Amino acid sequence: MAPISQSTVRSELSFSGVGLHTGESVDIKVLPGEPGSGIVFIQDGNEQVQIPASWELVKGSSYLGVTLEKQDEDPARTWRVRTVEHLLAAFSGAGIDNAIVVVRGSEIPGMDGSSKCFTEAFQSRRTLVESKSSLRKVKVLKEVAVSQEDGNSRWAKLSPLEDADTDGDLNISVHLDFGTRMQPQSFSYWRSEFITRKVLEARTFGFMSDLEGLRANNLARGSSLDNTIAFNDNGSVINKEGLRFPKEPSMHKGLDALGDLRLGGVLSGRYESLRPGHSLNIMLLKKLYSSAKNFRFV
């Protein structure tokens, strides 16, 4: 019988950049994790405070990002890590089960607005470690769905895989409709295709007409044409290089969904959404785990 193993990074990796929302210079180090430990965030200089990548610690999700938060022993102090979704998508897409992420700053660096840099580094350093047990996955047993109404209908759902589907994989399908601001588009892929379908390269995007309002609310302060696709309200792209792919916006929303869903573990099932956002995806995970009838650990 082949030995049971889980995956991690073989050695330390470092990344530096600007936080997409804070605009601050931030650095992270990714270190090997012990089997069964999952993905854990640590604030540099405060190694005793560990923040597991779990939907239960999401305190500040919005349409534009996910924040993990943990209370310190001192009730007056709270530790936060912002914008974790692109890094988590890279862990999931590259098949990294366990890792420690040491963060200097309050946000994960935005890099080029995609997961490309993270994923390629994880691919090159991925290694298997013998374990007493295999990685525990989460099998979706019943369909669960959530929706939001904010002037535009949004919904997301998780459902079981059919018998003919790839066993243990996760299928992600997203549909975008921004009215006259962008042509409607859809994109679907399997988690196992994250690299081969080039989903890792799809960049975050936004509309120039929204930028002033976002920055007034302390969001998108690090956003630039170096890390964000900028659209005019007529659907034209401002970036000189244009889009990397015709469906890059829906591909990126599929990337975001993979990262958000990693907060619920390694899921096996089907995900589908219309106009998805991070808060909607966290609502969906809460709904999934609201009843033991909805899932099974395998």
The answer to whether the Cα torsion of 237, 242, 246, 251 is positive or negative is negative
Cβ proximity of 104 and 46 under 8 Å: no
Query: What's the average model confidence in pLDDT over 185-199?
Result: 97
pTM of the model: 0.95
Which pLDDT band holds residue 1 (cuts at 50, 70, 90)? Answer: very low
Burial 107-124 (b: 16+ CB within 10 A, else e): bbbbbbbbbbbbbebbee
Confidence (pLDDT) at 137 = 92
Beta pairing, strands 39-43 & 99-104: parallel
Query: What's the average model confidence in pLDDT over 240-266?
Result: 98
Of 30, 26, 29, 19, give the one whose Cα is nearest residue 227.
19
CB-CB neighbours of 145 under 10 Å? 14
Is 21 an active-site residue? no
In this predicted structure, which of 106-110, 131-135, 233-237, 269-273 has the lowest mean pLDDT?
Answer: 131-135
Confidence (pLDDT) at 149 = 79
What is the pLDDT of the chain when averaged over all its residues?
A: 93
Catalytically annotated residue among 21, 86, 252, 278 = 278
Could you tell me the two tokens for 95? 């098949």
14-31 pLDDT tens trace: 999 999 999 999 999 999
Q: What is the DSSP letter of 62?
A: B
Calculate the CA 78 to chain-centre distance: 22
Q: What is the DSSP letter of 253?
A: H
218-234 pLDDT tens trace: 889 999 999 999 999 99
